[in-house]
Amino acid sequence: NAGVMQNPRHLVRRRGQEARLRCSPMKGHSHVYWYRQLPEEGLKFMVYLQKENIIDESGMPKERFSAEFPKEGPSILRIQQVVRGDSAAYFCASSPTLGGGEAFFGQGTRLTVV
Amino acid sequence: ELKVEQNPLFLSMQEGKNYTIYCNYSTTSDRLYWYRQDPGKSLESLFVLLSNGAVKQEGRLMASLDTKARLSTLHITAAVHDLSATYFCAVSGAGGTSYGKLTFGQGTILTVHP
């Protein structure tokens, strides 16, 4: 049973470009969470999704950031018109059911905006 | 708003010594997690604590939870260099859609010296 898979592991974008980060949850997991870790800081919750639904996006910046978890395929975190301040590690976690199990983290995508 | 505070934020230990990391949280929660993160890596789950008085041990690490005091401790016994890493505690919301949403402490950077 493969773990939570994120790709790419490292992503470099120029200011103004778009960044797409992918997360495939563990098999059997239907809940996905995205977190952002700025340098030297802890992880901050961004968004919680189930298939085809955004459940809680209270941690998402109001502009340029969006997330989806389609019926088929991975969850996508999309950042439009990236700025230097978006440089961070973005982690995805998945869990089997709401409150029914521990969330497991992927390896993260390290985004660098140049 | 749930807040999680760890102390100390930096911990320099000698091999063989004991020490404790503290994690305080501000509101009622159903579960508390301890994670380890090595530089540039993802989070490794160490412990999940579900109830008041819970104590779990793995090797040189022992975690406990006091829900009345809203306090968890991570005790390190006879530290070895391999334990050098950043340790995070994280607390989930209490029920409903908050269950899987974790609020992290700032992290404690542990360095073990010979």
For B59-104, what is each residue's pLDDT tens digit? 999 999 999 999 999 999 999 999 999 999 999 876 655 667 889 9
Phi/psi of residue B95, nearest 5 degrees = 85, 170
* Dist. CA B2–CA A51, nearest whole Å: 26
- How far is residue A88's CA from residue A41's CA, in Å, rounded to a whole number? 10
Look at residue B31 in the predicted model and tell me its pLDDT: 86
Cβ distance of A103 and B41 shorter than 8 Å: no
List the pLDDT tens digit at each of the 114 positions of chain A.
578 999 999 999 999 999 999 999 998 888 899 999 998 788 999 999 998 999 999 999 999 999 999 999 999 999 999 999 999 999 999 987 655 567 789 999 999 999
Q: Please give the pLDDT value at position B95.
A: 61
pLDDT band of residue B40 (cuts 50, 70, 90) is confident
Q: How many angstroms away from the CA of B107 is the closest CA of chain A?
A: 6
Partner-chain residue, chosen from A91, A102, A106, that has the shortest CB–CB distance to B48: A102
Interface touch A44/B104, C-beta < 8 Å: yes
User: Which residue in A3, A56, A79, A77 sits closest to B102, CA to CA?
Assistant: A56
Predicted local confidence at residue A77, as pLDDT? 98
pLDDT confidence band for B35 (50 / 70 / 90): very high
What DSSP element (H or E) covers B19? Answer: strand B19-25
- Provide the pLDDT confidence category of residue B42 given band limits of 50, 70 and 90: confident
Instruction: Give phi and psi for A74, each to the nearest 5.
Output: -75, 170
Q: Minimal Cα–Cα distance from A109 to chain B, Å?
A: 10
